[in-house]
Amino acid sequence: MPFFFARTMTNRFKIPQSVLVVIHTPQREVLLIRRVESDPAAPPFWQSVTGAKDTEDEDWAITAAREVWEETGLDCRTGGPLQHNLTDWALENVYTIYPRWLHRYAPGVTHNTERVFGLLVPEKCEVTLAPREHTHYCWLPYSEAADLCFSPSNAEAVLQLMHMPPSHQEERE
């Protein structure tokens, strides 16, 4: 069962460095999770796993593995069954933080740097969602998943799967 971290008063602002982890199967089916929305009138917000670094010097891969564990229960941390399936795609996006989330960051912070990772799982599987963050999940072919993503950078990352052979799982076994 994942352990969910709470921000302390010493780290009350989010660090504007985050990860985006596209979880997918060898057949390029993508896991999307639906965020909890405080505004019931807002459209559903579907996304891949995302999350900010806990400290400025936290390694990107550590952040990615932690966020996957916290948000889905899938274990790609060091020693976990999927540790060798987490791949840094060496893509970074810098984007303007949405106004409704600016209060989470230190005054004056307006942009976030997002590092993209992929996590290859052998097949579609059940996940354990963090109920304070997400309410539903689904597995979709990558093109349908990209269409459903709220964030343009998330959609672009999912579409990177079209450039990967569907059988690249065998290379890791």
Average pLDDT, stretch 68-92?
97
Domain that holds residue 58: 14-172
Q: What is the C-alpha to C-alpha distance for residues 173 and 170, in angstroms, rounded to an integer? A: 5
- Model pTM score: 0.88
Total number of domains in the chain: 1
What pLDDT was estimated at residue 34? 96
Q: What is the C-alpha to C-alpha distance for residues 149 and 52, in angstroms, rounded to an integer? A: 19
Residue 110 resides in a domain: yes
Question: Per-residue pLDDT tens for 51-74?
Answer: 999 999 999 999 999 999 999 999
Residue 21 resides in a domain: yes
Residue 6 resides in a domain: no
Residue 19 resides in a domain: yes
Residue 34 resides in a domain: yes
Residue 28 resides in a domain: yes
Residue 5 resides in a domain: no
pLDDT of 39 above 90: no
* 131 or 41, greater pLDDT: 131
CA atoms in the 13 A half-sphere facing the CB of 48: 30
pLDDT band per the 50, 70, 90 thresholds, residue 50? very high
